[in-house]
Structures are given as C-alpha cells and as structure tokens.
Amino acid sequence: MTDYTATVTVRLKQGVLDPEAKTTQRALERLGFSLEDLRSADRFEIDLAADDAEAARERADEMAERLLANPTIHDYEVTVERR
C-alpha cells in the first residue's frame, strides 16, 4: 500500500445561490477590488493508503458522493497525489 492525499473540492452548481460568495464579493468591491464574479468552495484533504492512485481516487470519489457533496446542488472534483 502507498500513502496518498486526495483533495476533494466541492462547489455549488452554476445557478445555485451562493450567499457567502456574494457577501465576500461585495466586501472586496468595497475595498476597491474590481471583479466580475466570485464563487466559494470547500476543500477537503484526505490522507489514505491505497494500492494505487486510481484506488485512492475511487475511495475519495465515494466519500464525496456519500457525504462531502450533495449531488443536487454541488459539483465536486477529486485530485490525488502520492505523499
């Protein structure tokens, strides 16, 4: 078994209201920053042992589908790196 770090990034789907991002965007604009849009995301870093990178990705994907993301309102992305 090899040690991997899987990173799961969870974002709201396009068109889903993101009040945290809108509040942050307004604050940045009040500070003088010009931006077109802002989206928030949650990032989970999972350390795990697996036979290979694909097995680690599959486990992290299952975690995302079962708990970390709500498929109705979220999209997610999984990346895996060897530790």
CATH number at residue 73: 3.30.1280.10
pLDDT score, position 13: 97
* Helix-strand-coil split of the chain, %, nearest 5: 35, 35, 30
Query: What is d(CA 44, CA 37) in angstroms, rounded to the nearest whole number?
Result: 23
Number of domains in the chain: 1
pLDDT score, position 46: 98
Tokens 């849009």: give the residue. 37
State the pTM of this model. Answer: 0.90
pLDDT score, position 78: 98
In three-state secondary structure terms, 75 is strand
Q: Which domain holds residue 76?
A: 2-82
Contact 48, 60 (CB under 8 A): yes
pLDDT score, position 47: 98
**Which residues are CB-contacts of 13 (< 8 A; sequence separation ≥ 6)?**
73, 74, 75
Instruction: Tell me what the mean pLDDT of segment 49-76 comes to.
Output: 97
